[in-house]
Chains A and B, each alone.
Chain A
Amino acid sequence: MKEQDLIQTLKKMQRISPDTGYARTSLAQILRTNQSSNWIFSNALVKMAVGISAMALVVVVSVLQVAGPSDAKMASLDDASLIAELDSKDFQIELKEAHYFNQSAERVAMALDEVVEYPEKN
């Protein structure tokens, strides 16, 4: 079969049509179905589901705000403040150590003086 013949044959299918009686009966049956009630029912379900989800979200957020860490705590957890805190702690440790070494050096010096002044005691 040539392409043109094939296309002509396909076009003959335009003759296909439904039975008129069936078409009328089908339409009448469809129109007996309530369009609005189904839509309202499904729409109400969707709205209810969205409402419940929104309420649950609000509750979760509220609980987190009350029970969760405060803004001050959260703010103190950023990188910059943590590094600054760490640096200052190191600095304090160094000061304490310097103070200790200073005191101990004085004591050692005093002890050495005593040893020099009173050698017979030792």
Chain B
Amino acid sequence: MLEGEIDIIELAKKGDQDAFATLYDHYHTPIYRFVVLKVSLRHEAEDLAHEVFLSAWRNLPRFKSRGFPFSSWLYKIARNRVIDYYRTAKPKVDLEDIPQGLTQDDVDHEADLNLDFDLKRVKAAMQTLSPDQQDVLILRYVEDYSPKEISKILKKKEGTIRIIQHRAIKALKEKIS
């Protein structure tokens, strides 16, 4: 959480651009990572991350914390944008059609992220997991949030987060091996 975040949010809610820029600088990279790990293509991830922060700026006057961190709100917008992206931009794929193993060809379709092969392989496998499993893996291992923090961000119980994390790792191992 950003230092003095509550005050910064209050200023941004009143239209203070510097305050919003501070929030943007702090949260833009993790939100971008969250999106790019779900949609793969860099330019699409850039468009989606832009839409997330545009929506946040426009709707900020209506933002109410209700005990949840500001990041929870941003991740919620990001998740909804990714859902819309898959609903409109991509043909629907039956879960039965998703290949169990991932080949080098699958990995080659990934974005130009300059990642090594293992990383690309894991990233491609992650995208076959359920959205909840993806969210927990990204927040736990990429963003280094604790299960308690993730439970606040995703508005789920801490125990549920631990179960999702356990199942996600297990599923990811199976898909990679």
Q: How many residues of chain A are within 8 Å of chain B by beta carbon?
A: 27
Residue pair A12, B53 in contact (C-beta under 8 Å): no
A10 and B53: CB pair below 8 A? no
Say whether chain B's binding surface is mostly helix, strand, loop, or mixed. Answer: helix
**Complex interface: chain A residues within 8 A of B15 (CB):** 35-36
Is the pair A35, B37 in contact by a Cβ cutoff of 8 Å? no
Query: B50 at the A/B interface (Cβ < 8 Å)?
Result: yes
- Contact between chains at B28 and A11 (CB < 8 Å): no
Least Cβ distance of B166 to chain A in Å? 10
Tell me, in angstroms, the Cα distance from A22 to B144 when the chains sit together. Answer: 25
* Residues from chain B with Cβ under 8 Å of A12 in the complex: 115-116, 119
Interface residues of B in 36-65 (CB under 8 A from A): 36-37, 46, 49-50, 53-54, 57-62
| Contacts A1-B118, A18-B46, A39-B58; A13 near B53 (Cβ below 8 A) | no
Interface residue A70 (Cβ < 8 Å from any Cβ of B): no
Q: Which chain B residues numbered 109 to 127 have a C-beta less than 8 Å away from chain A?
A: 113, 115-116, 118-119, 122-123
CB-based contact A31/B21 at 8 Å: yes
With A16-B113, A17-B29 known as contacts, the answer to whether A30 contacts B53 (CB < 8 A) is yes
